[in-house]
Structure 1
Amino acid sequence: MGGLAFSASTFENVAARLRASTGMAAKADIGVAAARLGLSGADAVPVGDDCAAIPDGDGFLLLAIEGFMNEFVAGDPWFAGWCGVMVNLSDIAAMGGRPTAVVDALWAQGEAGAAPVLEGLRAASARYGVPIVGGHTNLKTDRGQLSVAVLGRAKRLLTSFDARPGETLVAAIDLRGRYREPFANWEAAVEAPAARLRGDLDLLPFIAEAGLARAAKDISQGGLVGTGAMLAECSGVGLAIDLDRVPAPQGVDPARWLMSFPSYGYLLAASGDNVPAILSTFQARGIAAAAIGTVTAGGRIEVVSGRARETIWDFARAPLLGCGPARPLAGAPASAAEDAA
């Protein structure tokens, strides 16, 4: 496993690029939609997690959906189809669940435009062993668009709402891959055998059911730091992330890596006593895993390298998703914040 290395000037540059990340800023769109729909993290089915977790008997039904950027579907249609399955299954696993079935919605210019997307969907469905059971298709549109949803089930949840101050932040990432240019996608799944893909996803429900962690999140388009910010906001905490300890491929550009979307990548928050067992669970299957930071009581997302420290996001100044516990904004009287809540 490689690591990230920084000089003082490199670290400051990386921090600046993280603050300006479009992938992280785009997550604010979730808050806009949730507000319009009247939804929040305080609802019976909290909004802001990787899936909707719906109580059902002695467990939970998990429902997730992903929509894909038009330029991604146009530029790499087969891989977009593959990702339609893969990223949804990652969301189910991130919440301690196992997938049941997939549905898709596809728009394309004729059968020729739809074919590579459908082939990618079919290939991933077969490799991961999760059936596609239906969906929606329109072959008379002027551009390709794709959305995919998945249903799953969990016995015991991992959530974005259960990180606690004092816990250790763990990152687990499959480094056995490469960038799939030109997008910041770290592809480590297409050539992997089916048994490995399925077994690796099953590590998350194993960790949940063993009681090793309560909080986790799939590393998504916001990258490692952006995903950490979403986890922290939902839990009403902060994070101090030691960038020197982040698992990374040798020679990778640090800022690009921290904003990348890996095929297999998770953040977990756990008590220190459980961290060795979590790390060994991933490492035994060849997945790079390390303790990379601390959950803090403050509302800031900070990155650290040696003695250098930079704030990437401060929830006292602005929300990201807007799905976490109510916080007073900087300069606002406590009573006004309480009234707004």
Structure 2
Amino acid sequence: MDLSALAARLAAHPSIRGKLQIADATRGLGLDAASPGAPGDDAAALPRADRGWDLLAGEGFMPQFVSDDPWFAGWCGVMVNLSDIAAMGGRATALLNAVWAPDAEQAAPLLAGLRDAARAYGVPIVGGHSNLGAPALNIAVSVTGRADRLISSFAARPGDALIAVIDHRGAYRPRFDNWCAALDAPHDRLQGDLALLPELAEAGLVDAGKDISQGGIVGTALMLAECSGCGFQIDIDAIPLPPGADLERWLRSFPSFGFLLSARPAQAAAIQARFKARDICAAVIGTAIDIPRIDLFDATQTVTFWDYRDQPYLGLTKDHAHA
């Protein structure tokens, strides 16, 4: 395998490069990682007066994705928001949505997907906004949650084990690099799987991580590294693949249940055991380093996928003790 060519193709892919737009938005709003809620994390974490944090997150979708598969887009509006809350070590409490459609008939599958996913995951939809006279179909969903202890994008440390946690019991959806392992799963399993993340945080096993987003494993590792002021060396031979999956596609795929956890090495086995008990793949795929880049390596070569010192990714800054 030509790792240099692989890294170059990944770095040029729209799923990876789309995250560069985050910097445009944060600059326009005058935000950085030191702003309230720590932009750059999976959800805004606001400290409570008593204990713990209130969590807030939201998601919008590409219009083409929504128009191609409106029911699944509605489902994803719930699913991805709940993953953001779990990635922070939290439990979701409520969902709100905004729906645009030309009429009620075209809105129906979108609303059905929202309803079905909210029931599956056991989180109520408590309101939102609707416009049934819009020129096109689209959706945005927000979520609230709570956490007693946080899993943060800003807490990875050099020397950590990088653990990829992905539910392989699924398949790709047509046209997009979305690996879905949720639609046929029992509802109690979906809810119990997400509960693993706050349980790990509360047990003191994990304090750093991120849910695997549209940037896939490599893009998410890059965001986690830049937020934390470290880097990662990723062993591509250590990345488990579902049957029939292609490595390059898998590295940029967005799984329905997928997280990167950066954990102290002594905790890695205990973390993996928790996921194994629920038939979820959790593999150590790399190590955090004190260099601001993501490297990919195998038995014969090491190449740099992205150096965020030369090309910032999220464009957020924060002081780090080890940077």
- TM-score over 0.5 for the pair: yes
Matched, 1:290 2:283: yes
Instruction: Give the structure 1 partner of residue 5 of structure 2.
Output: 13
Q: Which residue of 2 aligns with 1:335?
A: none
The residue number in structure 2 matching 1:339 is none
Aligned counterparts, 1:208-227, within 5 A: 208-227=201-220
Query: What is the aligned counterpart of 1:24 among 2, 10, 16?
Result: 16
Q: Matched residue of 1:258: which SS?
A: helix
Task: State the Cα deviation string for residues 302-327 of structure 1 (Å, max 9, x = none).
Answer: 11111211111111211100123379
Q: 1:73 aligned to 2:89?
A: no
Alignment counterpart, residue 31 of structure 2, candidates 39, 45, 60:
39
Counterpart contact for 1:301–1:312, Cα < 8 Å: yes
How many Å separate the matches in 1 of 2:264 and 2:317?
21
- Please say if 1:154 is aligned against 2:147: yes
Q: Secondary structure at the match of 1:140?
A: coil
How many correspondences in the alignment?
A: 319
Residue deviations 1:74-94 (CA, integer Å, cap 9, x gap): 000000000000000000000
Q: Select which of 31, 53, 58 maps to 1:60.
A: 53
Structure 1 Cα separation of the partners of residues 27 and 4 of structure 2: 34
Q: Among 303, 312, 316, which residue is 1:310 paired with?
A: 303
SS at match of 1:28: helix
Cα distance in 2 between the residues matched to 1:17 and 1:78 = 31
1:51 aligned to 29, 43, 46, which one? Answer: 43
Greater displacement, 11-20 / 257-266? 11-20
Counterpart Cα distance in 1 of 2:241 and 2:314: 27
Amino acid at match of 1:306: A
Which residue pairs with 1:337 in the alignment? none
CA distance in 1 between partners of 2:317 and 2:236 (Å): 25
Cα distance in 2 between the residues matched to 1:199 and 1:161: 26
TM-score by length of 1: 0.92
Counterpart for residue 162 of structure 2: 169
Q: Deviations over 1:129-155 (max 9, x none)?
A: 000000000011111111000000000
Q: 1:254-305: per-residue Cα shift (whole Å, max 9, x none)?
A: 1111110000000001111100000001111000111000000000111111
Native 8 Å contact 1:73 1:80 kept in 2: yes
- Judge conservation of contact 1:179–1:185 (CA < 8 Å) in 2: yes
Among 67, 84, 90, the alignment partner of 2:77 is 84
Structure 1 ranges of 4+ moved more than 4 A: none
- Structure 1: runs of 5+ lacking an equivalent: 1-6, 328-341
Tell me the CA shift for residue 31 of structure 1: 1.1
Residues 97 and 204 in structure 1, CA contact (< 8 A), matched pair in contact too: yes
Match of 2:263 in 1: 270
Q: Percent identity?
A: 54
1:109 partnered with 2:102 = yes
- The 3-state SS of whatever aligns with 2:134 is strand
